[in-house]
């Protein structure tokens, strides 16, 4: 991401902007000195002759105004500028609305005013055309007009995109819900080799949003964790979706098997730094907002005891490293099939306290 120094000051012009000269699709967020900025959403940057206006994606809300942007030729893709208290990253340039206003909805340019005046001018020597003459010119007779009209065709009932309907031979219509995306099967090789007949799939709430590298990461984690002594290190760069890969892979182990096959795992412990406990809670809120929250957030020793009685409906336990050290004895009483360590570099010291606590939990070294 590169930056370019452009003259953008606070807005002091008129409320009514001048002619629109440029328009850009942008990402916007609060201005900061961070290397990796956090963007709040998509927007539209409209440049006028005397000001620049940052609007929301649907152009209903005005987010910020500033004075005119002078060096428009330097606004290439991925360039970042500051407008007031907001940082804006240019995505692409789009046509202005003023260039399209000269065209009608059918794509034909409006005729000049002189042509309009000519069309509206009435010839005083011209005889007005009666309704009978119009019908004769259109090939319609009085008999055709008096004939009964056929009944209007019945419109088919609306069917939502995710619901399909099938009609049988006796006229009965059956409505069934169809999957929008094909299932993401993790044990496809085992099925092809006839080692099993039960498919283990990634939940559709994840699979419809996954990118190719995230699918590869989930397959890698599943293949490494489906055994009793397996393990893996997921070391993607920041922002590539390690959290969703972890949740999708562990949820497939916990709930991915189709009946009558049994699940591979029944519980999962997620150990994270204290500063990331709320981040993990927010991730679970995002992906499980339409169903029961599947995790217990351990803030006290009592929460660990609560997890023991709710593990069937809430298989995840999220706990900080500090709390796990203080209550290692209580964690030993719980049986965990899967262990996730966020910021795993904290365990690199073989003689460290965290490494010893992890060994006592029954997962080995």
Is residue 337 over pLDDT 80? yes
**Which segments of 34-141 does DSSP mark as H helices, in order?**
97-100, 113-120, 131-137
Question: pLDDT (tens digit, 9 = 90+) per residue, 297-307?
Answer: 999 889 998 99
Give the span between the Cα atoms of 336 and 315, in whole angstroms: 9
Question: pLDDT (tens digit, 9 = 90+) per residue, 276-294?
Answer: 999 999 999 988 887 888 9
Question: Would you give the DSSP letter of residue 74?
Answer: G
Cis previous bond, 43, omega within 30: no
Residues 27-44: what's their mean pLDDT?
Answer: 84
* Bigger pLDDT: 1 vs 219: 219
Show the tokens assigned to 5: 């120094």
The upper half-sphere exposure of residue 355, i.e. CA atoms within 13 Å in the direction of its Cβ, equals: 9
Share of the chain above pLDDT 90, in %: 11
Residue ranges per structural domain of the chain:
2-97, 184-264, 266-365
* Bigger pLDDT: 352 vs 64: 64
Gyration radius (Cα) of the chain, Å: 32
Residues 79-85: what's their mean pLDDT?
Answer: 83
Residue 351: what pLDDT? Answer: 58
Is residue 230 over pLDDT 70? yes
- Per DSSP, the three-state class of 246 is helix
Give the span between the Cα atoms of 264 and 252, in whole angstroms: 9
- State pTM to two decimals: 0.49
**CATH number of the domain at 266-365, please?**
3.40.50.10810
Mean pLDDT comparison of 153-157, 219-223, 261-265, highest-scoring range: 219-223
Question: pLDDT (tens digit, 9 = 90+) per residue, 84-141?
Answer: 788 888 888 888 876 555 554 445 455 454 444 444 445 555 555 555 555 555 555 5
Residue 34: what pLDDT? Answer: 78
Residue 181: what pLDDT? Answer: 65
- Mean pLDDT, the chain, integer: 75
Question: pLDDT (tens digit, 9 = 90+) per residue, 136-193?
Answer: 555 555 555 566 677 776 666 555 554 444 555 554 555 444 445 678 888 888 878 8
Q: Classify the phi-psi angles of 89: left when phi > 0, otherwise alpha if psi is within -120 to 50, otherwise beta.
A: beta
Give the span between the Cα atoms of 186 and 195, in whole angstroms: 14
Is residue 243 over pLDDT 50? yes
- Which residues have CB under 8 Å from 93's CB, separation 6+? 22, 23, 24, 25, 75
What are the counts of helices (DSSP H) followed by strands (DSSP E) for the chain?
Answer: 13, 15
Residue 10: what pLDDT? Answer: 45
61 burial via Cβ count (<10 Å: 0-12, 13-18, 19+): exposed
Residue 354: what pLDDT? Answer: 62
Cis previous bond, 260, omega within 30: yes
């Amino acid at each position: 991401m590169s930056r370019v120094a452009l003259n953008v000051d606070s807005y002091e012009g008129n409320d009514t902007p001048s002619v629109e000269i440029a328009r850009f699709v942008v990402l916007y967020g609060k201005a900061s000195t961070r290397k990796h900025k956090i963007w709040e959403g998509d927007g539209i940057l409209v440049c006028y002759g005397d000001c620049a206006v940052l609007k929301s994606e649907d152009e209903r809300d005005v987010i910020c105004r500033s004075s005119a942007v002078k060096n428009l030729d330097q606004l290439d893709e991925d360039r970042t500028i500051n407008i007031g208290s907001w940082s804006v990253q240019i995505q692409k340039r789009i046509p202005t609305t003023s260039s399209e206003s000269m065209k009608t909805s059918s794509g034909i340019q409006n005729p000049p005013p002189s042509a309009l005046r000519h069309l509206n001018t009435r010839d005083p020597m011209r005889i007005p055309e009666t309704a009978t003459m119009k019908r004769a010119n259109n090939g319609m007779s009085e008999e055709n007009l008096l004939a009964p009209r056929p009944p209007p065709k019945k419109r088919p009932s609306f069917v939502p995109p995710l619901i399909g309907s099938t009609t049988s031979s006796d006229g009965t219509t059956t409505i069934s819900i169809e999957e929008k995306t094909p299932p993401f099967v993790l044990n496809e090789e085992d099925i092809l080799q006839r080692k099993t007949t039960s498919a283990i799939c990634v939940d559709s709430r994840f699979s419809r949003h996954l990118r190719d590298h995230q699918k590869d990461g989930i397959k890698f984690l599943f293949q490494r964790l489906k055994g009793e002594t397996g393990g893996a290190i997921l070391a993607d760069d920041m922002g590539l979706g390690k959290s969703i890969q972890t949740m999708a892979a562990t949820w497939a182990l916990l709930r991915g098997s189709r009946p009558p096959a049994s699940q591979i795992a029944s519980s999962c412990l997620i150990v994270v730094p204290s500063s990331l406990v709320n981040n993990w809670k927010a991730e679970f809120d995002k992906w499980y907002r339409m169903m029961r929250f599947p995790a217990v957030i351990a803030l006290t020793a009592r929460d660990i005891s609560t997890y023991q009685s709710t593990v069937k409906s809430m298989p995840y336990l999220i706990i900080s490293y500090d709390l796990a050290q203080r209550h290692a004895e209580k964690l030993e009483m719980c049986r965990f099939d899967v262990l996730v360590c966020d910021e795993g570099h904290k365990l690199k010291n073989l003689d460290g306290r965290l490494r010893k606590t992890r060994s006592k939990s029954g997962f080995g070294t």
